Structure 1
Amino acid sequence: MAVRETQARPVQADRGWGLLFRAGAVSAGLAVLAYAAALVIMSVSSSPPTSGGAGMLEFVHAHRTVYIVRQLLWLSPSLFLMVVFLALTVAVWPRGKSLAALAGLIAITSWAVSFAWPTTGDGSLAMVVLSDKYADAATAGARAPFAAGAEVLIALNDVPAVIGVLQTLGILLISLLMLSGPFGAGVAWFGTATGAIGVLSEVLRPVLGWAYAIYGLMLFAWLIWIAVVLWVSPRGSG
């Protein structure tokens, strides 16, 4: 009986993570859908000005609903990706607990901090508050502080953010651990390439222009692949 119980425990432990793996698969798919929806809305809606705090606030006030939806679509994947990387951390845990803990900490924390970061790369929800106060101000002098605040947010959108570098570093570290299993070498090598290119893309974002989209496309493909392997994984472990 003792031998049988000892042999049964690992199987029960593996099956116990099945729900997390499925949640990670669904979350990866939802992140891709949110990003795709944001890109569609960007392509069919008016583009905000690239400079000038006053002009930006007037634009946001005139396109308030669409602007809010765009920011929420860029921000919501951060929640989904926290679940994805938690599932991946559990999956690679047997391959090296110390490295898995470090990679998981960097990945999960960086996406969690996205909610505290004032910009999304496409704008900021804080811009909506500033635009409302700017519209309510009666004089040019009263509007000036809000326009200045908008200038700061515009600048933050354009500079390389440490949080973006950490997010791509998390992809790289998790993928390196995946090289020894459990999902196969293909997704692991593709994730390694995505993470490495992502780190460079985040550091060089101000000078890359549209070339930054290469990393974005690779991230989409990697997330779709991760969704598939995480969904299949519980069946394999059972």
Structure 2
Amino acid sequence: MTSPGGAAGTRTDPTGTPHPDPTWGPLYRAGAWSALLFVLLVLVPVVLVVVAPLPPTRGAALLEYIAQHRVVYLTELVSFVGLAVPAMVVFAAVAVALKGVDQSIAAIGGLFGVASEVIALALGSSPQSLHGGLVVLSNAYRAADATDRPALASAAEALIAATNAVSWAGILTAAAILLLSLPMRRASFFGPVLSTLGVLAGAAGIVSEALRPVIGSGYMLYGLLLPIWFAIVGWKLLHVSTARAS
């Protein structure tokens, strides 16, 4: 049955609690597997940070590091930037699943989430001085003579500063998590625990992304909460996609 005032196709149980529209099952499954891929793409560079030398944060030194550890750097770059793709699918799946609970919040949260990842892909960069343009500068730096290298190092410094500046894409991602987590409390298929975790992660993310240039290691709190939220959301979406419609 359709919930009163709810989205068309939204099912409710005898108590009136809305359930996800079962016709969107393939999207829920795609969101579940995308959430798993997101977590894996987060874990890969984390492991590399532990087992490989930490990249420097200054221009010339970073260009030399990229030249010497190209595979590591490119893997980290592709992982951090590439996770925007599965994140878009997750945000879309969560928004659709919640449309019977709160259409407006679900739509705004989903829009924020998808927009944030599109911006991230367009910028092609992420925190920790990861940017595809630095690979190009590294190639030029190695081929340049001593006269041209200072200019290339200065260009790298400017790109590093821009990469590590406040990211509107990151703020929108955190805002999307916060908004989508609010109606989860009223959705039995997500529940209050995930809702609370998402609100904490979203609030911490907004503060962390806004203060990223000065917050230092405080960013790690958000960095831990983010993949945990995605992992639990993925598990919930997988359960929703496989549950038989009542």
Instruction: Give TM-score, length-normalised by structure 1.
Output: 0.88
| Aligned match of 1:33 | 40
Partner of 2:87: 81
2:222 aligned residue (215, 219, 222)? 215
The secondary structure found in structure 2 opposite 1:93 is: coil
Q: Which whole-Å CA distance do the structure 1 matches of 2:208 and 2:135 have between them?
A: 28
Determine the C-alpha separation between the residues in 2 that align with 1:237 and 1:147: 59
1:82-112 CA distance string (max 9 Å, x none): 0000000101112232332221111111012
Deviation of residue 115 (structure 1)?
Answer: 1.1
* Superposed CA RMSD: 1.9
1:160 is the counterpart of 2:166: yes
Number of residues of Structure 1 aligned to a counterpart in Structure 2: 227
* Partner residue in 1 for 2:237: 230
Where in structure 1 are there 5+ consecutive unaligned residues?
1-8
The yes-or-no answer on 1:124 pairing with 2:152 is: no
CA deviation profile, 1:130-168 (whole Å, cap 9, x unmatched): 111222223523x34422221112112332212111110
CA separation in 2, counterparts of 1:237 and 1:216?
A: 35
Q: Secondary structure at the match of 1:115?
A: helix
Query: What residue in structure 2 maps to residue 5 of structure 1?
Result: none
The one-letter amino acid of 1:167's match is T
Task: Note if 1:48 corresponds to 2:55.
Answer: yes
Preserved CA contact (<8 Å) 2:81 2:124: no
Indicate if the aligned counterparts of 1:119 and 1:156 stay in contact, CA closer than 8 A: no
Which residue, 18, 21, 26 being the options, matches 1:14? 21
Specify every segment of 5 or more residues in structure 2 that has no aligned partner in the other structure, as ranges: 1-8, 12-19
Distance (Å, rounded) in 2 between the aligned partners of 1:118 and 1:16: 34
- Cα distance between partner residues in 1 of 2:185 and 2:158: 42
Q: Distance in 1 between matches of 2:111 and 2:184?
A: 16
Deviations 1:157-184 (A, max 9, x none): 3322121111101100111122221421
Q: Which residue matches 1:206?
A: 213
Q: In the alignment, is the contact (CA less than 8 A) between 1:118 and 1:153 conserved in 2?
A: no
CA contact (8 A) 1:21 1:234 kept: yes
Distance 1:63 1:124 in 2: 14
Give me the identity figure in percent.
36
Q: TM-score, normalised by structure 2?
A: 0.86
The 1-side partners of 2:173 and 2:166 are apart by 12
1:38 counterpart letter in structure 2: P
Q: Which moved more, 1:201-210 or 1:70-79?
A: 201-210
Which residue is equivalent to 1:98? 104
8 Å contact 2:177–2:199 — kept in the other structure? Answer: yes
Please tell me the residue identity of whatever aligns with 1:90: V
Contact 2:56 2:62 in 1 (8 A): yes
- SS across alignment from 1:116: helix
Residue matched to 1:4: none
